Structure 1
Amino acid sequence: MRGSKSCFEALGALREREVKAAWGWVLSSDVLPQHQQAVETAAGQGLAEVADREMRAELSALEGHPILWAARLTGLGHDVLTYAEASPAPARHRAEPMADEQLVELRPAEMDALRVYVGAAERLRVAPAGGLVERVRRAVFDGPANRWSLCLTGEQMESVAYAFYPRAVCGSVAEANRFAPEYDVVVRMDRSTGSLRSARLH
């Protein structure tokens, strides 16, 4: 969504007041003037709907006094807010791992590959390690370093190594080739059993 933090604040205020709105429309008396302007800008992007003359007349009859402005979120507006709230915040500092964890920093392409893996979790035969889906969701991005930071347990790191194996089979070995020596964990085919197993390089 184009615009600044004020646009999200305005849409958030609109959503909050919409819950209590008697007719499903938030009236000007319930919205700050600066928020009205931001909502009108958002309406141009399909994120909100501003009442037209006919709807204002209908609301005026319901309220018993003239309604000069009213607005409500569109379905897209609700979804954009939900998406924004679920998105990880930019990192201002590196995450601090717990005693049984290790800090893992992934390049954007590596994080994309990992997201594909955890996104398909319910359809996989080898599911992500416990807690990995949540760690991926809460990963933070360090813009200057161009890295995603996660604090992972050993089991979760092995799961990340596994995630890069089908990626390699599908044609991109870059993720696995960097992750293995960097974090000392790799997934290989065990020819004696015909199955994959994780291993430490050192």
Structure 2
Amino acid sequence: MKTYFVQQDSIVRKIWGNADTVMFIFAGAAAEFALNKAVDWLYFTGKLPKDPLGRLFSTVNYAKVIVFAEEKLAIQAIEQMNHIHQKVEEKRGYHIPDWAYRDVLFMLIDYSIRAYESLERKLTSAEKEEAFSVFNRVGKLMQVPGLPKSFEAWEIQRKQQLQENFAYSDFTKDLFLQYKKHLGFFRYWLVLEAQILL
């Protein structure tokens, strides 16, 4: 019997199994990535400014693999993410801040909930807790410290990190310009993403 990282009847699968919802998550993530104080890490390899939409879709695709794959494959995907980050850290000479990892996890929790509620219906407290638990488990497997223990604790920490870890910078300005520059390819990406999901 197959074991999945996320149960087949999970609300998280419903959220990430809908192309429109994923596009909403993507839109929120794109804006938030640009404002994060750790966005310089995304510029370090030079890949983000060259293909910002492609890089963000890559992040979304990793999340989808984790949500829909068997547990063994999902854990392998998480380990691969760890390996990629470690290589970047080695090249740059120091570690990505723990709070930057938490920000990305928190973003996925937040926009998963808000996108679904914007397009479908309000989630129950149990469903919100489930969305939190799935991505919090990803964080634990990535060995990210300082993760909250409940959805309620996450809400408090999320607000705090939004106040502390986000600011408009020269990287923000440049990334929004890159978004505008690459927006002509956006329809192509939307079609491609929809095909992947269906």
Q: Normalization by structure 1: what TM-score?
A: 0.29
Higher normalized strand content (fraction of residues): 1
Q: Normalization by structure 2: what TM-score?
A: 0.30
